[in-house]
Amino acid sequence: KQNQTAEIARRVSLGWAAFGKLRYIIKDPKIPINLKRKVYRSCILPVTTYGLETMTLTQRSANSLRVCQRAMERSMLGISLRDRVRNDIIRSKTGVPDIVGQIAALKWRWAGHVARCKDERWNKRLVCWTPRASTRSVGRPQSRWHDDIRRHAGSNWLRVAQERETWK
């Protein structure tokens, strides 16, 4: 859990670094918002979400990613927190997709890729692996990577994902 929190913080800081390198485009009020959106989606969002499709996001980590994205969107529009503009209005002006939704789409794509790869590959073995004799710790079990996929696709998601067109 601490490794995940550290990785999320690292991704957020790398996203801000990419944002800072492109601030002359993103913060310029003369540049149209559709160009800023394209720059954000092609240069900043991939840096922030890289590798997060292999993690199970907790509510806290999802919130920190959303806070980062909202701050970037406010900066794109030149709106400060003191202006008290609602987040849904800012989202409608920027047209940027939700970062957690993007990560879920990446996770869905990765799950389809893992399900369609050969059986001897290590990533498929790890997804299908269950420990033989493990003792569970006290409390609610932690959410695993494939629990998110099972929640949306059902318990036979490995079979469903074999057909690429229905998986999309």
pLDDT digits (tens, 9 = 90+) for 136-151: 778 887 777 878 888 8
pLDDT tier at 160 (50, 70, 90 boundaries)? confident
pTM, rounded to two decimals: 0.86
pLDDT band at 133 (very low <50, low <70, confident <90, very high): low
Distances (CA, A) of 40 to 2, 73, 96, 100, 157: 28, 9, 8, 15, 32
CA distance 43 to 37: 10
CA dihedral 57, 63, 65, 70 (to 10 degrees): 150
At 1, the pLDDT band (50, 70, 90 cuts) reads low
Q: For residue 78, is it left (φ>0), alpha (ψ between -120 and 50) or beta? A: left
Q: What would the mean pLDDT of 81-101 be, rounded to a whole number? A: 95
